[in-house]
A = this chain, B = another copy of it.
């Protein structure tokens, strides 16, 4: 909490960068997969139905943001979530999204209400 209130631009940029690192569908899927434990690029490529280069690129973004870390073992590179705080953040957002979805269904399904 010792952050100054009129946040300096540097800090603001860092925060924005962090949010944008997470705010991409493929990267969210990667994080969702990594929640169950570390995985190699090949694992993620198969599980997500994306190209290897694409997955590798997104992993690079997440690694640069300090959210995931690499561990080399022989031929393969294992990725794992390093910053555990993203999990709690995602849970919070998921909760809000759930609530929004419920509202949407309530609004978009008037047939069941009349």
Contact = CB atoms under 8 A, between A and B. Distances in A.
A85 B19 CA distance: 15
5 contacts: A1-B91, A16-B28, A17-B23, A19-B22, A83-B96
Interface residues of A, number: 43
Contacts of A1: 91, 94
Interface of A: 1-3, 5-7, 9, 11-25, 27-29, 32, 36, 66, 83, 85, 88-98, 100-101
Nearest to A48: B6
A111 B89 CA distance: 36
B18 A93 contact: yes
B97 A18 contact: yes
